Amino acid sequence: MKLLGIDIGGTGIKGAPVDTETGDLAAERFRIPTPHPALPEDVAQVVKEVANHFQYEGPIGITFPAVVRGGIIKTAANVDDSWIGLEADDFFSKHLNGPVTVINDADAAGIAEMRFGAGKARQGVVIMLTLGTGIGSAIFSDGKLLPNTEFGHLKIRGQDAEKRASEKVREDKDLSWKKWAKPFSEYLNELEKLFSPDLIIIGGGASKKADKFLPHLKLKTDVKVVPAEMRNEAGIIGAACLVRTD
């Protein structure tokens, strides 16, 4: 089945139709910069442009960088506060004239990696991290997702981890990959101490540059850290796979 997935990020809103049986994109992804400020109506118009680009009609999966419970936005760490309390499924459905399923962005990316990528057939505890404007997270136990974990807000030296070790922080501070690997390693070691994962998958924009920072990580255990195989398309793929079609 081919379903449309749209991934709302801090810098870009991108989408593509996805073959949900294989995890492959059925067309080249289409991306539009995220409007700033990222107010609901402005974002909805861009999402509509992405859907119209593919002349798509049918159910759509949309990721959102916040806690999403029952289709309702519950937090707004990296988006405007006006999103909090919004019934996002209904909101986007009205703009797109069709059924919409909205889910946490990192949860969607994690589902894609667990079904088709680096976490496929993996048992035990797997943590997926998406590095971009912030740090998104998803955790799986024997393939089962615990949704909306938000590990990017763990406190490291008195700050949210994503304020010290996200991809945006590296870019804003113009850090080399080697220097950035130090605070990122500290963050990974905290996750390891708390959750004893068997595997950590690194997704988001930084996954394309994994070879530049993975060799510089200083970890206290032998936990395996690998780049996401779906790269920055994992959110699109996961969103399409999690669309409710009933």
One digit per residue, the tens of pLDDT, for the chain of length 246 reads: 899 999 998 889 999 999 999 999 999 999 999 999 899 999 999 999 999 999 999 999 999 999 999 999 999 877 889 999 999 999 999 999 999 999 999 999 999 999 999 999 999 999 999 998 899 999 999 999 999 999 999 999 999 999 999 999 999 999 999 999 999 999 999 999 999 999 999 998 888 899 999 999 999 999 999 999 998 899 999 999 999 776
17, part of any domain:
yes
114, part of any domain:
no
pTM value is 0.93
Kindly compute the dihedral angle of the four CA atoms of residues 3, 45, 89, 33, in this order, to the nearest 10 degrees: 70
On whether both 138 and 212 belong to a single domain, the answer is yes
On whether both 95 and 124 belong to a single domain, the answer is no
42, part of any domain:
yes
Longest dimension (CA), the chain: 51
Q: Which two tokens stand for residue 109?
A: 């990316």
- Return d(Cα 152, Cα 242) in angstroms, integer: 23
For Cα atoms 242, 201, 116, give the angle at the middle one, nearest 5 degrees: 45
26, part of any domain:
yes
CATH number at residue 92: 3.30.420.40
**Total number of domains constituting the chain:** 2
Of the candidates 158, 157, 224, 164, the one whose C-alpha atom is nearest the C-alpha of residue 196 is 224
Domain ranges, residue 151: 120-228
170, part of any domain:
yes
Q: Which residues contact 58 (CB under 8 A, 6 or more apart)?
A: 3, 4, 98
Q: Which residues contact 165 (CB under 8 A, 6 or more apart)?
A: 135, 156, 180, 183, 184, 186, 187
Single-letter amino acid, residue 115 = R
Of the candidates 192, 130, 117, 120, the one whose C-alpha atom is nearest the C-alpha of residue 162 is 130
Residues in the chain: 246
Quote the pLDDT of residue 76: 83
- Return d(Cα 130, Cα 21) in angstroms, integer: 23
Q: Which residues contact 151 (CB under 8 A, 6 or more apart)?
A: 127, 129, 135, 137, 139, 161, 191
134, part of any domain:
yes
10, part of any domain:
yes
Tokens 């995890």 sit at which residue?
23
